[in-house]
Amino acid sequence: GKDIVSFDQFSADDVRRIFALAGHMKQLVLGKEPCQLLAGQLVSLLFFEPSSRTFGSFAAAVKRLGGQTLEIQNPETVSSVNKGETFEDTIRVFEAYSDAIVLRHPRPGAALRAAESAEFVPVLNAGDGNNEHPTQTVLDLYTLYERFGRLDNLTGVMAGDALNSRTIHSLMRGLSLFENNTVYLLSPEKLRLNREDLNMFRSRNITIHEITSERDIPRDCQYWYWTRIQKERFDSLTEYNEMVAQRFTVTPALLAEYASQEMILMDPLPRIGTIDTEVDKDHRAVYLRSQVRNGLYTRMALLALVLGRA
Ligand code: CP
């Protein structure tokens, strides 16, 4: 099927194919060229969790390709949330109305359940709890590729909530498709990747070092990838605040001390205590520039592919 549930479904060749198409989409958008690739197609955007970038870029992607969207952004309006309808039934109802479903959901595994429930239309995982966010990884890899011209031989830091960050979980999968990549994971002790996931990643084609202080960041990294402590994943505010007190924030001083001039500073956003706004004007800051824009181009490419239009 054409569902996109986990980044594990992609090969290195798939990534290259998506990139070629994303480059084409970028030219379309920058050239303001009208495009009707998705004319007659309707895509349901079912967002059971808040979102700015993923929702906005998917909606923009469909519309820029001449398609239409059916948008659910408030889960309280969905019968499965408020009247006890099953999640599976909700998915089957929306598949009857649309040609693809883009799903964000707080529950890990929700995208897989949706893909199994939908019989006729592709389901795209727009983030399922603390599990995965595969389309974010496509834009993250595209951003790295645009800057360095390769996806192998890269060393980077991924900082923040490694335990809960679905963007880190998918990005590690993505980088493990290529050769000789090394990741330094910088997290508070309690927010380290869970041990089972760590062992799973260590059995793959990627080298992982866990570090607990900024002082351990190697100075020759090609990228820093900062993620927020995720308030919505904690049972209590006390626990969240305890983790916030231990978080790492990128400041001009931290960059000056540990980052090369050639690296890029990434953040999937939203930025909650991850990066000082002082850093935004730095030439290495790509989170509000390339990353956000690449989210549009890569999602245009993914939609064209899963809908059989490319
Ligand atoms: N990066 C990301 O997924 O952002 P949103 O939660 O705003 O979609």
| Closest ligand 1 atom number to CA of residue 295 | 1
Residues with Cβ within 8 Å of residue 19, at least 6 apart in sequence: 141, 142, 145, 301
Residue of 49, 54, 73, 230 with the most ligand 1 atoms within 8 Å of its CB, for mutation: 54
Question: Is 90 exceeded by the pLDDT of residue 243?
Answer: no
Average pLDDT over every residue of 107-123 = 97
Residue owning the nearest CA to atom 4 of ligand 1: 53
Question: Is 90 exceeded by the pLDDT of residue 230?
Answer: no
Average pLDDT over every residue of 58-75 = 96
Q: How far is Cα 36 from Cα 64, in angstroms, rounded to an integer? A: 8
* pLDDT at site 291: 98
Task: Report how far ligand 1's centroid is from the alpha carbon of 268 (Å).
Answer: 7
Residues with Cβ within 8 Å of residue 249, at least 6 apart in sequence: 273, 274, 275, 276
List pLDDT tens digits, range 158-202. 999 999 999 999 999 999 999 999 999 999 999 999 999 999 999
* pLDDT at site 84: 83
Pocket flag, ligand 1, residue 269 (CB < 6 Å)? yes
Please tell me the pTM assigned to this model.
0.97
List pLDDT tens digits, range 261-273. 999 999 999 999 9
Residue type, 213: S
Q: Is 206:184 a contact under the CB 8 Å cutoff?
A: no
Average pLDDT over every residue of 70-81 = 84
| ipTM for the assembly | 0.96
Q: Is 3:122 a contact under the CB 8 Å cutoff?
A: yes
Residues tagged active-site: 53-54, 83, 104, 133
Question: Is 60 exceeded by the pLDDT of residue 146?
Answer: yes
* pLDDT at site 185: 98
* pLDDT at site 1: 57
Question: Is 90 exceeded by the pLDDT of residue 103?
Answer: yes
Pocket flag, ligand 1, residue 136 (CB < 6 Å)? yes
Left (φ > 0), alpha (ψ -120 to 50) or beta: where does 40 sit? left
Checking DSSP bridges between strand 100-105 and strand 123-128, what pairing results, if any?
parallel
Residue owning the nearest CA to atom 1 of ligand 1: 268
